Structures are given as structure tokens and as C-alpha cells.
Amino acid sequence: MISVTALDRLARTDLAFLNWRDPTHPDAGGAEAYCWEIARRFVAAGAHVTLVSSRYPGSRAREYRDGIRIVRAGGTFGVYAAAAAHLLRHRHGYDAVVDFQNGIPFFSPLFTPRWTADICVIHHVHQRQFDTRFRWPMNAVGRVLEKQASRRVYRGRPVVVVSPSTREGTRRELGFGNPIHIVPNGRPSSAPAAPAGRRSAVPALTVVSRLVPQKRVDLILRAVPALLRRLPELRVDLCGDGPEADALRKLAATLGIGSAVAFHGYVTEERRQELFHRAWLTVVPSVAEGWGLAVIEANAVGTPALAFDVPGLRDAIRPGVNGWLLDPDADLATGIASALDALSTPAARALAADRCRTWAAAFSWDASAERLARVVVEDLQRIHRHRRSRRSASDLSVVTRFTSPDPDTTERAVRTSLRQTDIWHRSGDAFRLLLHGCDEVRALSALRRLDVAEADIVLARAHDVLLGTAEPGDGSAPGGRP
């Protein structure tokens, strides 16, 4: 039986992606990777995608890359007015708009007709971070735009977040009552099974980060002197660029650790993977993340991660599986030293590498694109039906497992009865369903519609929602169908 995916249903649709930057921007990071990887897969499925983003020195106003039409206009803040003008000029040109919120959204529902599906994607909540970039009154304006204004403009519209932490922040800090769907980041699709080079024989850290205040890379540098007293052969490779670069180089010189720390600046994906593979450990000391893309990139080549137990990173790292989480008030140098001690033997590093690769393999951009496509398709269907979805907004999800005496008939019922955003997997006569936005009672009702008499039903855990119907190492794509 041929399976028709949500991506297939997006063929010949016209979509606008609104993102602060495109991947070629000098300050591009994980949010840009997420936007681009999803857009590429939408285009490969036959959709027409236009990415509207800010223009930077040396960039072209119009460009096609990987089949995506890029429209660049406005600067850091002017891009919001430019995106609004673009939507108004093409008011009847898009079936759906995917609005990527990087602190402040584009408020696309104000500039699109009511029959357009507007989906807001939130990587993480910035309420506390506006103070690190702006002084009063701009920091207060930013908080109002992200919270009260966004809540009003996007009322009732689907929201996509990248982790359970972001969902919690969207509910608790922003007060959103919208239906919220989790679509995690993928992993580097081109990551080789064994990158060139070997794991370092001496303790080594590889850190990949934009060099901005909220990433707190300075904490790593301040930890190095204490680490060198215990591990004099330690080497630190720091990859990335940003406004903090000069200050961090000066700090390294002041601390006298220049011989142990290498500043690589921007590096290619291949070089980044090579440095990750050489390292024993990566460290992510951010104050918060939406997810932790660097964690999964490192895990994909067998390198565990250490971070503070903060939003986003507590989702990307499972202690004992792919790294360590520290109390937010813990001493970073002590935490790094403890992790390096645990990795001190080749056997320990090999075991950690196997666990990391298994965890990273549960994520893929293909699966993430399919999950986001389901949100878009379901909202398009809702608009065309001129009614709202049956289920009210709820963050509960249910995992149910059952066997069917007539699996082909059950599969046909599953395909026609479940929502686009529900996820299922079949193996022979065994089914595993992840039902979003419902509790056990509603799950029983859904199973009755499938003529399922007996099933195991449990509330989904955070990693169940992240992985979809896949389990790490089971070989199936998270959120995918057979």
C-alpha cells in the first residue's frame, strides 16, 4: 500500500517562510538551520516556498537556492516592515505562512486574508533575554510584543515549538492558549558515520556557538585554568563568531590560556563534525535554549554533551545516555572535570559514543519536516471546512499500543480517522499511536472508532513527544509511517 504523507499533500501549494535571517547571514544559527532544512524538504515534496528574511551587506535582494526563492529586505529590524509589505503585495499569493518567531514574530495574521493558514514557530521564549540586548524602554517593548501582542494576534492559531521546555514557556510565560505542537530539530543529514580523524588521545573539548552574551561562552574560558591544573594536556576548540569574539579572545589572553584554546571562527559543517569527533566532550553553558542543536550535532558523531539544567538543554540531554546536566548554580569547571574523568578510558569513550549515536539517530530533518507539514495540512483542512478542530487545546498526549487481528483494515481506519498531527507506526499486526491534545478518556474514544477492543494506554512523556513513534535505536523515523 502506498502511503501518502503530509508532505505529499503540500505539493503545488504556495508557502511563505518568514525568518529573521537566512542561512547565509553572518549571524545565522540553529534557528536558521531549522527553517532552511524544513523549507528544503517542503520544496522537494513539490511545494513552492518563498523565504523572506533580512538583507545584510553583500547579499542579493533576490536569489534561488536549493529551489527556495529568497527575498531579502530591511535590516535587523526593518525586516519586519519589509515582510509585512511583501505579504500585502502578495495577499492572494500564499496558501500558508510559517512565521518563525525569534523573540518578536512577524504578526503575519495581520497581513494575510482569513483563508490563509498562519503557523507560528517558537524556538524559545525571550522574555528574560530582552534585558541582555536592550535598555529601557526597548526591552519592555520587546516583552510586550512577544507576549501580549503575540498572544492577541495569534489567538486560536496553531503554534509549533521545538521542545517541551519551549511549550512550557509558551504556556507559562507568554500565556498562550493555542494548540501547541512539538516539532524537534533534526540532526546533520550529511554527518558521516566516521568522520575523518580519530578521537583525541588527550582530553579535548569542542564548543560550537554563536559568540553572544546569552551563550555564556566566557564561563568555559574561566573554567580552563582550573581544568589545566588537573589536566595539563587539555585542549579546547572554539568554533563560531559573533559580537563577543574579540572580548573572548582578550579574556583568554588575560587568563593565560592561549596555548590551550584555539579560536576557529566560522567553520564549515565538515570541519565542525571533524572537531566534534576529535573531542571527548562538548559544553553548552547557555542561559537557556529552545533545543540544543549543537548537542545533537555532537552526539551524531559520538560525542557527549554537558550543559546546565536549563530550558531546552534539559530536553536535548538525557543524563546517562548522551551527556550530563549540571545544577544551574554548579561550578562549571568541577562539572567538566567530572565528565572528563568519566570518559578517561577508551572503553568509556566508546560506550558513550554508541549511546550518543543511538540518541541522535532518533532525530531527522525528514521526520521534522513531515511533522510540521502535518500541522500546515491540518490547518489548511480546518480552514477549508470552515470549522475548528474537534479537540480543544491541551498539552497532554497519549501513547497507545495494540495488536489487530485484521491489521490491513485497522491501518485503513487509522489513516482516515486520526488527525494529521497524530502519529502512528505499524510493525506487522502491532500498532503504536501517539495521540496529541487528548487524555486517556479521549484516547479510548478514538480507539473505539478504530474498533480496537484492548490496548495499553499511557500518558506520553516528554521524550515520547520528541521522538514521535520511534524509540532510539529501533530504526524507524520519529513521527514517520511505515
For the chain, what are the domain ranges?
6-182, 204-360, 390-482
For range 341-361, the mean pLDDT = 95
pLDDT at 9 over 80: yes
Q: With contact defined as beta carbons under 8 Å apart, do 375 and 119 qualify? A: yes
**Cα 82 to Cα 79: distance, rounded to the nearest angstrom:** 5
pLDDT at 298 over 70: yes
pLDDT at 2 over 50: no
Note the pLDDT of residue 473.
45
pLDDT tier for residue 347 given thresholds of 50, 70 and 90: very high
CATH T-level fold of 390-482: Alpha-Beta Plaits (3.30.70)
Helices 293-300 and 269-278, packing angle to 10 deg: 70
**204-360 shares its CATH topology with 390-482:** no
pLDDT tier for residue 478 given thresholds of 50, 70 and 90: very low
For range 210-233, the mean pLDDT = 95
Give the pLDDT confidence of 66-108 residue by residue, as tens digits: 999 999 999 888 999 999 999 999 988 999 999 999 888 999 9
Q: Evaluate whether the domain defined by 6-182 bears CATH number 3.40.50.2000.
A: yes
Residue with cell 563534525: 273
Lowest average pLDDT, out of 9-18, 275-284, 409-418, goes to 409-418
Residue 479 backbone phi and psi in degrees, to 5: 75, 0
Note the pLDDT of residue 379.
93
Note the pLDDT of residue 133.
73
Amino acid at the residue 189? S
For range 352-367, the mean pLDDT = 94
**Cα 337 to Cα 27: distance, rounded to the nearest angstrom:** 31
Q: With contact defined as beta carbons under 8 Å apart, do 404 and 188 qualify? A: no
pLDDT tier for residue 452 given thresholds of 50, 70 and 90: confident
Cβ burial, residue 463 (10 Å; 0-12/13-18/19+): middle
Q: Which residues contact 268 (CB under 8 A, 6 or more apart)?
A: none
First to last CA, the chain: 10
Note the pLDDT of residue 309.
96
Mean pLDDT rounded to a whole number for the chain: 89
Give the pLDDT confidence of 19-37 residue by residue, as tens digits: 999 999 988 888 899 999 9
Note the pLDDT of residue 476.
40
Give the pLDDT confidence of 395-430 residue by residue, as tens digits: 888 889 999 888 888 888 888 878 888 888 888 989
pLDDT at 218 over 50: yes
Interior angle at CA 184, CA 197 and CA 440, nearest 5: 135
pTM: 0.82
Grid cell locating 366: 525528514
Note the pLDDT of residue 388.
46
Q: Evaluate whether the domain defined by 204-360 bears CATH number 3.40.50.2000.
A: yes
Grid cell locating 297: 550535532
Give the three-class secondary structure for 74: coil
Amino acid at the residue 468? G
Note the pLDDT of residue 369.
96
pLDDT tier for residue 292 given thresholds of 50, 70 and 90: confident
